[in-house]
Amino acid sequence: MARKRTILLTLVGLTLLAAITLGCYKGHNLWLDHRFRTVPPETPGREVIFRVEPGQPFSVIAAGLRSDGLITDSRRFLTMAVNEGKTASIRAGEFLLHTGWTPDKVLHELTTSAGIMRRVAVREGLTWWQTAQVVEEAGVGSREAFAAAVSDPELLAGFGIRADTAEGYLFPETYLITPPRGDHSRAMAELMIREFFVNAAKVWPDGLPGWDELHRTVIIASLVEKETGVPYERARIAGVFHSRLKKRMLIQADPTIIYGLGEAYDGKIARSHLRDPDNPYNTYVHRGLPPGPICSPGLEALLATVNPEEHDYLYFVAKGDGSHQFSKTLEEHNRAVVKYQIRRPANYRSTPVPLGQDQ
């Protein structure tokens, strides 16, 4: 009987010991979990740029965070994300994190932030090679790769562009993109062309016209963009070009000559340039529109071209403050040329001074 009591007491004791041990283990785990979620890896900590690759498993992301000192336990971080249903919420990209953050804040940043974005600001009126320079300076790609992309027949055909290059269809905009690994030139060109067609839908809300009309509009809009110094003149200048084309007059636009000279343009147009028939973009010699767009027009230039101002003006000349003097006859125009060009003041400018710069 005593033997049975001893065995029973022993079993009870072992059970109690196991329960205590289990309780201690669970309590210790709860303490570790609490400590993991409330105590940052480092104090005061340091900034770390952390990159998430497209399609990267969350377990690999957690291991990378642990390796970079951003969390102290990858298994607990994974469990926390699973419990909160956030394992599929992380976007690919680069994130500015901090080793002084708690895991909750790290997870919040990874699942709610767009991360570090690269800014590529492409203003209206740039040629494709000037845009290539902007892309290169932004660290997104190289001039050479961008040049290859904008003249790639396969890329152009994919967007229905029946031209030798994407000139005119690289929409001017400030783009925020995830910093790429490697050269991102082709993707950047595709992004800009897609943005063109998004905005074209605003110009033609009932549907885009056929290619010939679309391309003609983009060409004229590129002239309007290059000739306009002040926004309110866009529709008026578009009206001048439409009227000259209708009357089969020469366009006679300096920016077309400059475009034809390409990167060889040194800032001056010589008389020989005005007479050069070998420049296909010389609208002082060749009748009608130039062979293609001469820059990337913005939305307002496209809208002005589709909705030109109706008037009798056939000529305009820069007044030196960014605006133009418009004339209906050649005689009026010649007087304006004498006044604003030949006798131009010392502070003459063909375009307005950007805000923040001295007059």
Give the ranges where 228-329 is alpha helix by DSSP (H).
234-246, 254-261, 271-275, 299-306
Residue 90: predicted pLDDT: 87
> Please, which residues have CB within 8 angstroms of residue 306's CB and are 6 or more apart in sequence?
203, 204, 217
pLDDT by 10s per residue, the chain, length 359? 666 666 665 665 566 555 555 555 566 667 878 888 889 999 898 999 999 988 899 999 999 999 999 999 999 999 999 999 998 888 888 999 999 999 999 999 999 988 888 899 999 999 999 999 999 999 999 999 999 999 999 999 999 999 999 999 999 999 998 887 888 999 999 999 999 999 999 999 999 999 999 999 999 999 999 999 899 999 999 999 999 999 999 999 999 999 999 888 888 888 899 898 999 999 999 999 999 999 999 999 999 999 999 999 999 998 888 899 999 999 999 999 998 888 665 555 544 333 233 32
Give the angle subtended at the CA of 176 by the CAs of 174 and 178, to the nearest 5°: 155
- CATH class name, domain 47-112: alpha beta
Q: What are phi and psi of 59, to 5 degrees?
A: -65, -35
Give the angle subtended at the CA of 75 by the CAs of 69 and 80, to the nearest 5°: 95
* Boundaries of every domain in the chain: 47-112, 118-203, 211-311
Cα(11)–Cα(96) distance, integer angstroms? 56
pTM here is 0.78
